[in-house]
Amino acid sequence: MSLRSSLSSSHGAHPKALINITFPTPTPAPECTYHVLFTLPPAVFVDKFEPPFNEHSIARTWGKMDLELPIHALPTQSSSFAMLQIERRDDTEGLTGAEVEVPLHVRYPRPRSGGGYNHVKMDWPLFILACPGGGPTAQGLLLDKLPPPFSNPFNNPPHAVTIFPPRGDNTTFEFVLPVGNSDDLLVVQLATAGLVLFCFVWVGRALLRASSRLQSSSSGKQE
């Protein structure tokens, strides 16, 4: 079996994880399903309302997925989990596998003096093969060790579950994020306040001019 994971880009806050799995013959039974399980560090999250998560009935997340919160605003600094069923694919050479692109989101780090870059690492996902019938294998019991409120989605009905950990010299993703320069905070605050004040004055002026035109039009009709 070959499992490959890569990032569309290591820079930026919205990369995609590209997952490709290929099985040699003999292939798993057609009724078996393929899944990838991500262990997400606090700095990384997925949006379950975004494709492909909102396109699959078997897509689950566990843990805090507070969208767009910066890393320092999270209530807890614990990992979260996301699991997605991926579609089986048969190619012309008789190989069976699956592939999927998973959008990831990296939280903004706390600004610091001088700015710079943060490097965030995340393990490749686990590949899970789930086949109906029987109970979970010894490897499958790894899912039962997830801390509450996480749960094993294959317990009902029972499945024979096999977990394939990633293999290779480097089985981690690395994200490179720019860090805001806290020395610029005062400038940003003043510029933001100035822009808000300008918009307020512009909208107020537009409302006054519109009101004046309506009054003039009403007076003309009465005459």
What are the pLDDT digits (tens) for 41-93?
A: 888 888 777 776 655 545 677 777 766 777 777 776 777 888 888 777 665 55
Contact 73, 107 (CB under 8 A): no
Tokens of 186: 């005062």
Q: How, if at all, do strands 159-164 and 126-132 pair?
A: antiparallel
Contact 105, 14 (CB under 8 A): yes
Task: List Cα–Cα distances, 176 to 15, 65, 165, 205, 213, in angstroms.
Answer: 11, 21, 25, 45, 54
pLDDT digits (tens, 9 = 90+) for 9-22: 777 778 888 888 77
What mean pLDDT comes out for the span 170-187?
Answer: 84
Model pLDDT, residue 147: 62
Closest CA to 177 of 44, 39, 8, 66: 44
Find the DSSP H helices in the chain: 185-222
Per the model's pLDDT, the better-predicted residue between 161 and 121 turns out to be: 121
How many CB atoms neighbour CB 110 within 10 A?
Answer: 13
The rounded distance, in Å, linking the Cα atoms of 108 and 100 is: 26
Model pLDDT, residue 193: 94
Model pLDDT, residue 149: 63
Closest CA to 83 of 123, 120, 56, 44: 56
Task: List Cα–Cα distances, 55 to 58, 84, 118, 192, in angstroms.
Answer: 9, 10, 32, 39
Model pLDDT, residue 137: 53
Model pLDDT, residue 205: 92
> Per-domain residue ranges for the chain?
2-180, 183-220
User: Which residue in this structure is represented by tokens 């999927």?
Assistant: 100
Model pLDDT, residue 194: 94
8-state DSSP, 125: P
pLDDT digits (tens, 9 = 90+) for 126-173: 888 888 876 545 455 566 666 666 677 776 777 777 777 777 677 888
Question: What type of residue is 124?
Answer: W
Model pLDDT, residue 43: 85
The rounded distance, in Å, linking the Cα atoms of 124 and 189 is: 39
Per the model's pLDDT, the better-predicted residue between 65 and 7 turns out to be: 7
Question: What type of residue is 123?
Answer: D
The rounded distance, in Å, linking the Cα atoms of 10 and 150 is: 29
Q: How, if at all, do strands 59-62 and 126-132 pair?
A: unpaired
pLDDT digits (tens, 9 = 90+) for 80-113: 888 888 777 665 555 567 777 888 888 888 888 8
Model pLDDT, residue 222: 56
What mean pLDDT comes out for the span 27-36?
Answer: 78
Contact 64, 78 (CB under 8 A): yes
* Radius of gyration (C-alpha) of the chain in whole angstroms: 26
